[in-house]
Amino acid sequence: MLGLSASTICVLFPVIQNLLNHKALFLRPLTAYDVLNAFILVAGCSFAGGALGSLLHPRVMEDRKLAVVLTVLFSVLTVVRTGLVQEITSLKYVAWILPPVDRVSYIYGNADEFRLIQTGILFAALAAYGAALVIIRSCICQKRKF
């Protein structure tokens, strides 16, 4: 629920700014289709990130200092993943551990408009990644009797 609330705010903020700036924030007119696609992508990223963060929960990882360091490390690595894989190609074999958030910028980085099919594929990948981590966390918690 928190992720959906944050996603809504993240999508509505630019829409409100666009309206306040006389629709001059974006290069082309903003449509409900654009807002829907943006929300789907941000919500998918939120779910994937939240699922990764849930693996660092005290019930799963008891060492809080390590959890904080890993949170920062995973966040930074997720953002720079594409560049790292381009520079060190052997990292692509372990980069799958990180959320596929970089695929969003890869597909839509130079695009002029959203395509629902691509958005759906990206959302499915993010949801599958998040679901896998939720299952892993649940298995760990069951094993520890939480």
Total residue count of the chain as it appears in this document: 146
Q: Residue 132: its pLDDT value, please?
A: 96
CA distance 120 to 73: 28
* Tokens 């993240």 -> residue: 10
Q: What is the pLDDT along the chain (146 residues), one digit of tens a residue?
A: 888 899 999 999 999 998 998 888 888 888 999 999 999 999 999 999 999 999 998 888 889 999 999 999 999 998 898 888 889 989 888 888 889 998 898 899 888 899 999 999 999 999 999 999 999 999 998 988 76
CA distance 38 to 123: 11
Of 93, 35, 98, the C-alpha closest to 71 is 98
Q: Residue 51: its pLDDT value, please?
A: 93
**Do residues 126 and 100 make contact, with C-beta atoms less than 8 angstroms apart?**
yes
